[in-house]
Amino acid sequence: MPEVTSYQPGTPCWIDLMVPDQQAALDFYSGLFGWEAEVGPPESGGYAICTLKGKPVAGAMSAQSMSGEGPPPTVWTTYFCSADAQATSEAISRAGGTVLLPVMDVMDLGRMVVAADPLGAVFGVWQPLGFPGAGLVNEPGTLIWNELNTTDREAASAFYAEALGLESTPMEGAEGYFALSVDGRTVGGLQPLREGMPPEVPPHWLVYFAVEDADRAAAKVSAEGGTVLRPPYDMIAGRMSLVKDPQGAPFALIAPKPMS
């Protein structure tokens, strides 16, 4: 079911990128994934909706400094669907998270919140009104997986269960890896930050994009000025690679194994 028209609350439903050079990012990802994208109108702050086959797949915006602070990190943000952004914001606070951007209306499209879990991983919440989120997923050039890398699995599991209704259970065949599910349906993953990771790498949500050939896609990232952090390798779900775009945003590429 690559085309999607609605999401169950607690399910990742959208991703976007905050980046210093928006046009350069749009050019890079359009070349890598075949997206169509252009800087959005002034009334939306220039926010770009990237599309594939005419369906929205991701957003991108220029990084804006807030309250005199330095520019925010260049990262992909995972947004979780909510039936009530205000109620979810309150649940996040009760569970020990930090609301970074309070509930705000995004024209007539929806309501959003940006928050951090108690370990520091940043994520978003989206209450759809006129815009449900990604209209195409799980096929080449689109989002296929969202993964939390954290320093305290038990604390993170407890937080997301209380704040977003996500259940954490060991994933069969993947030692040390946990599935995040909504009403028994797996919607993402959770794992401890790997040993040997640089100490400056904080807890974070990582987005995975599906590709037909992980080796070819990783080579293209490198050729276009990005960085291959972990060369393509085979794992339980397929062949994957961890990369950074030319402006430093990390993401994963995966050529998934055929569904049995």
In this predicted model, what pLDDT tens digit does every residue of 201-243 receive, in sequence order?
A: 899 999 999 999 999 999 999 999 999 999 999 999 999 999 9
Strand partners, 99: 115
Cα–Cα distance for residue pair 151/174, rounded to 1 Å: 18
pLDDT at residue 64, as a whole number: 76
* Rounded average pLDDT over 16-22: 96
Residue 88 three-state SS: helix
pLDDT at residue 63, as a whole number: 86
**HSE-CB of 196 using CA atoms within 13 angstroms:** 2
DSSP 196: T
Which residues neighbour 210 within 8 Å (Cβ) at sequence distance 6 or greater?
A: 138, 139, 140, 141, 142, 143, 144, 254, 255, 256
Cα–Cα distance for residue pair 65/197, rounded to 1 Å: 28
pLDDT at residue 258, as a whole number: 83
pLDDT higher than threshold 60 for residue 79? yes
C-alpha 8: how far from chain center: 17
Question: ∠10-14-17 over CA atoms, to 5°?
Answer: 130
pLDDT at residue 73, as a whole number: 86
Name the residue among 166, 229, 153, 157 with its Cα closest to residue 192: 153
Asked if 19 contacts 74 with a C-beta cutoff of 8 angstroms, the reply is yes
pLDDT tens per residue, range 173-207: 888 999 999 999 999 999 998 755 667 789 999 99
pLDDT higher than threshold 70 for residue 84? yes
Query: Six-digit token pair at 125?
Result: 């919440």
pLDDT at residue 173, as a whole number: 85
pLDDT at residue 259, as a whole number: 64
Strand 143-150 to strand 122-128: parallel, antiparallel, or no bridges (unpaired)? unpaired
* Rounded average pLDDT over 112-118: 97
The single residue listed with the structure tokens 């046009």 is 23
Asked if 140 contacts 122 with a C-beta cutoff of 8 angstroms, the reply is no
What does the CA dihedral 130, 66, 205, 104 come to, rounded to 10 degrees?
-30
